[in-house]
Structure 1
Amino acid sequence: MKNTKTAPTANPYVGLPPAGVLRRFGALIYDALLVMALMLLAGGVGALVAALLLNFNLISIAGYPDMAAYLSQNMLYQIWIWSVFVGFYAFFWSKAGQTLGMRAWKLRVQNEDGTNINKTQAVIRLFTAIFGLGNFFVLINKPKGRSFQDHWADCEVVLLSKELNQQVKLKGVKWP
């Protein structure tokens, strides 16, 4: 009987060039607009839930001038809003290696072996990003082109070719 094993295919994401600062900031701005829209939507949902709870006398806003003041001091509401922020990046980075902004700029965050980062790496990367200022570290870290957050999360951001960018999938579903 013949041995029908095939040689493992090389990961096409290994050895790609590191992403530059301008592309990183372009993706950051694009994603910031998306995340702000999602956070506004989440805020609206949270406010609607709070209004319903108030209507059924399940919460009280006594001591607050209005619902907005109540929500701005409510820890559960704050956790809800920030979980949308963290969840956006953790989900997209760990499932597809790129957010919508990164896709537009042909960038991908990955491990050095070309695999997607995990959720822990995504959270570390997000919390060490320092509002994008960590990307300037790319300018002095020329050989690998890694930013401050890439270093701490043990990952890299690479520049994809047009063909590779079109092949990136989110849980087996092709991007539009």
Structure 2
Amino acid sequence: MTETTPPTFPRAGFRRRFGSWIYDSLIVIAIFMLSGYICVALFVALDAAELIAITRSGFGIDWNASHIAYKIAFNSWCVAWVCIFFVYFWAKKGQTLGMRAWRLRVQNTDGSLISKMSAIKRLVPTLLGLGSLIVLIDRKNKLSLQDRLTNTEVVVLSLEANRGRL
């Protein structure tokens, strides 16, 4: 291997992907909760300023009695922040925090970082990790549904390569 040739790493199997998914799901829950708290605070502040009218029960919002538009806005806000988390880390570093713990990196098949558009395209088939179930069937290529749709791959980094990404 010469200085100009980037190192090649093996593709990740299902177990590593699943381990990374577990780690990232904990982070996603925290992001969802934090963004939810911020959204509720915004709703309460807008209600106090009489710009919107939410139904309250004590300090909290009574979601069952509130207009459906507030539920849609709340969930859209929270999901948007989760999506921003994945797109940012995939496009900027090639790794989420869970992927880093399991020494995984998402990249283009040539070894370069994926673009923000590719990261956005990966989001839907990545939903709940279901796209990665294909790796169980396709053990030879180890490509998930989101890998196939975006012409990307998830590779296992060496200890040195993962450490060098700090």
TM-score, structure 1 normalization: 0.83
SS at match of 2:154: strand
SS at match of 1:129: helix
1:57 aligns to 2:50 (yes or no): yes
SS at match of 2:94: coil
Q: Please point out which of 107, 111, 130 is paired with 2:108.
A: 111
Q: State the AA in 2 paired with 1:77.
A: F
Q: State the AA in 2 paired with 1:61.
A: I
Give 1:97-176 correspondences, 5 Å limit. 97-168=94-165, 175=166
Is the alpha carbon distance of 1:89 and 1:99 closer, same or farther for their aligned partners in structure 2, counting shifts above 3 Å?
A: same
Q: CA deviation at 1:41?
A: 0.3
Unaligned 5+ runs, structure 2? none
Is the alpha carbon distance of 1:112 and 1:128 closer, same or farther for their aligned partners in structure 2, counting shifts above 3 Å?
A: same
Alpha-carbon distance between aligned partners in 2 of 1:36 and 1:71, rounded to the nearest angstrom = 25
Is the alpha carbon distance of 1:114 and 1:93 closer, same or farther for their aligned partners in structure 2, counting shifts above 3 Å?
A: same
Aligned to 2:26: 33
SS at match of 2:12: coil
Q: Percent identity?
A: 39
1:46 aligns to 2:39 (yes or no): yes
Are the counterparts in 2 of residues 72 and 78 from structure 1 also a CA contact under 8 Å? no
Q: CA deviation at 1:132?
A: 1.2
Q: State the AA in 1 paired with 2:83.
A: V
For structure 1, which segment, 27-36 or 118-127, has the greater mean C-alpha deviation from structure 2 after superposition?
118-127
Count how many residue pairs are aligned between Structure 1 and Structure 2. 160
Structure 1 moving runs of 4+ over 3 Å: 70-73
TM-score, structure 2 normalization: 0.87
- Give the structure with higher Rg (CA): 1
Q: State the AA in 1 paired with 2:4.
A: T
Unaligned 5+ runs, structure 1? 1-6, 169-174
The root-mean-square deviation of aligned C-alpha atoms, in Å, is 2.0
Q: CA deviation at 1:78?
A: 2.3
Alpha-carbon distance between aligned partners in 2 of 1:80 and 1:110, rounded to the nearest angstrom = 28
Aligned to 1:11: 6
1:76 aligns to 2:87 (yes or no): no
